[in-house]
Amino acid sequence: MSDVLLSEADMNFLVFDWLKLEEHLEGTDFDRDTAEAYFELSRKLAAERFLPHYKKADEIEPRLEDGRVKVLPEIGDALAEFRELGLFGANFSEDLGGMGLPQLVTSASYAWFAAANGSSVGYTMLTGANARLIAAFGSDKQIDTFARPQIAGEWFGTMCLSEPQAGSGLGDVRTVARHDGEDELGQRYKLTGNKMWISGGDQDISDNIVHLVLAKIPDESGKLPEGTKGISLFIVPRTLPDGTTNDVAVAGLNHKMGNRGTSNCLLNFGENGGATGWIVGEPGHGLRQMFMMMNEARIAVGFGAAALACRGYLLAANYARERLQGRAPGKADGPPIAIIEHADVRRMLLVARSYAEGSMALCLLSSALVDNESDPEDAALLELLTPVTKTFPSEYGLKANDLAIQVHGGYGYTRDFDVEQLYRDNRLNPIHEGTTGIQAADLLGRKVLRGGAGLQVLQKRVAATVGAAREIDGLREEAEAVEAAIQLVSETIMAIASRPPAEMLDNAASFMSGFSLAVVAWIWLDQAVTVAGLGNDHSASDVFRKGKVATARYFIWHELPHAEPFLAQAASDKDTIMALEAEAF
């Protein structure tokens, strides 16, 4: 069973039926057949080259030797094959050396690799996001020098934001960039500072490493600009174009609970006079530029979490069909039954599935919106949903992995079963690329209270789904519930907006919880509507259709109602926790 990754039936349903991939392919060189071939290739490579070292990469962590990080060679081997097949550049345009595939295709492909081995494929995600940022904001020469080798998969990329004293607080970045002249790559700087939590910060499996580094340029008196507006972005390659090694040292490796195949480093820039870097675009634009990479990484984190959740669910469902234990209620004299026949095991499986497949659907929806970003409505909805796409899979996918362990009983707590590692791996996701708290503040503050366009699009699309569901037997009550939940979200926002500005974000995390349940309930309802519209001749099996609709209804009946207490908390003005002394905790 260890070759179970994702449900092919579900991925096909989500991509082709629900999100209508063929519409995305119009006007491209690709059609359904080529997309299916691409998915087939991805599944095969994931199962044959990424999955086999999943456990080994957990057991044999990256290690520091003579100042360099050594990772498990199998990781490099798998990524070499990924490179040889051209997959690094799949969603880059052909003039940049890519394949020009829509994001929805490459994201669905990424999900297979993330299910097989998220920490190995993580290097490709960072590399792609890095190259995309350089391609968007860098000069032609910078693109040729630093983006193209990443699109080809020969060099890997990193994003260097956090510092030991400033995790999420980027305004406090202290890395200094001093001007050092100009050359064909642009304005050249010498960087000095320490960067923490750098995924892929060092490794021995790519020819070069391209660091994208946030730093501040001092004024004439040597003072650094305050806050996030003074942040600039620099390209700092490990090996310089002249072949010499840049002044970037690995100061330490973090030893993580999971996701261990991705090395995670503390990097010291400029221990010997300054690391050479070239500014991207104009000074002071660094954070805004980096947000492009962060938004891509946030959706990718959602995919990683959703994939772990889906794989855990499938492993648990298979185990529950095979493992015999106990008797049917009232049949003590009967034969032992498979544990999937116990109501509580089914409940756990349905809950896990509703989180896992709901998460995957949300992530794929966001990828579809990326493809349609030229449509202002889709762009606004993507902005709104990006923090949710990062957070719901991270938080609820982890719960799904928790349930997958529970279905396995004691076996699930041992390292002999992959569900144990899936859970440890997934625990990272609510933390990196902006914690759940950061995402919640982004959602409520920037996207809802100071935005609003995305919310209108959401309301419109929910109304369309609800309208369609009302026409379908067995979905009417569910349609009412989703409509009421979105209405409650609106009322909650009005209540929050009437509070003193300094307190509006106090319960942002509760708003995120309630809002994301409502969004995912809509996504489930919309999937059920799609199922109802599948023709009798459609390839989706009867059992798939029934399972899908049952999961949708289950989520709307039993998970969505928790949105109410979360939203009540978000709207509450009775919290006095800020008045408590810090010592009262």
**Among residues 221 and 576, whose Cβ is nearest to a copy of itself?**
576
The DSSP element (H or E) to which 304 belongs, if any, is helix 286-322
Q: Given candidates 507, 516, 527, 530, which one binds a copy of itself under the rule CB under 8 A? A: 507
Residue 416 engages a copy of itself in binding (rule: CB under 8 A)? yes
Distance between CA atoms of 454 and 458, rounded to whole angstroms?
A: 6
Q: Which amino acid is at 361?
A: A
Number of residues that bind a copy of itself (CB under 8 A): 99
Its sign, for the CA torsion 268, 274, 280, 282, is positive
Burial bucket for residue 106 (CB in 10 Å: 0-12, 13-18, 19+): buried
The DSSP element (H or E) to which 210 belongs, if any, is strand 208-216
**Among residues 27 and 334, whose Cβ is nearest to a copy of itself?**
334
Where helices occur in 471-554 by DSSP H, the ranges are: 476-497, 508-533, 542-554
Residue 334 engages a copy of itself in binding (rule: CB under 8 A)? no
Name which of residues 225 to 244 contact a copy of itself (CB under 8 A). 226-227
Distance between CA atoms of 225 and 171, rounded to whole angstroms?
A: 9
> In this chain, which stretch among 76-84, 153-161, 278-286, 402-410 interacts with a copy of itself, using CB under 8 A?
402-410
Residue 136 engages a copy of itself in binding (rule: CB under 8 A)? no
For 538: left if phi > 0, alpha if psi spans -120 to 50, otherwise beta; the answer is beta
Residue 209 engages a copy of itself in binding (rule: CB under 8 A)? no
**Among residues 424 and 470, whose Cβ is nearest to a copy of itself?**
424
In angstroms, give the least distance from the CB of 366 to a copy of itself: 23
Q: Given candidates 26, 33, 140, 581, which one binds a copy of itself under the rule CB under 8 A? A: 581
φ/ψ (deg, to 5) at 205: -120, 5
**Among residues 227 and 452, whose Cβ is nearest to a copy of itself?**
227
**Among residues 196 and 363, whose Cβ is nearest to a copy of itself?**
196
Q: Which amino acid is at 125?
A: M
DSSP state, 374? T
Q: Residue 153: CA atoms inside 13 Å, Cβ hemisphere, count?
A: 23
Q: Given candidates 13, 18, 113, 423, which one binds a copy of itself under the rule CB under 8 A? A: 423
Contact 305, 291 (CB under 8 A): no
**Which residue's entry shows tokens 């660091």?**
211
Tell me the per-residue interface mask from 350 to 369 with a copy of itself, x by CB under 8 A, - otherwise: x--x----------------
> In this chain, which stretch among 174-182, 200-208, 316-324, 378-386 interacts with a copy of itself, using CB under 8 A?
316-324
Name which of residues 425 to 484 contact a copy of itself (CB under 8 A). 427-428, 430-432, 435-437, 440-441
Residue 546 engages a copy of itself in binding (rule: CB under 8 A)? yes
Name which of residues 150 to 169 contact a copy of itself (CB under 8 A). 162, 165-169
Residue 93 engages a copy of itself in binding (rule: CB under 8 A)? no
Which member of 383, 433, 483, 559 is catalytic? 433
The answer to whether residue 184 is catalytic is: no
In angstroms, the Cα distances linking 246 to 172, 250, 271 are 25, 12, 10
In angstroms, give the least distance from the CB of 479 to a copy of itself: 15
Whose CA is closest to 421, among 142, 76, 61, 40?
61
Q: Give the residue numbers marked as catalytic.
A: 433
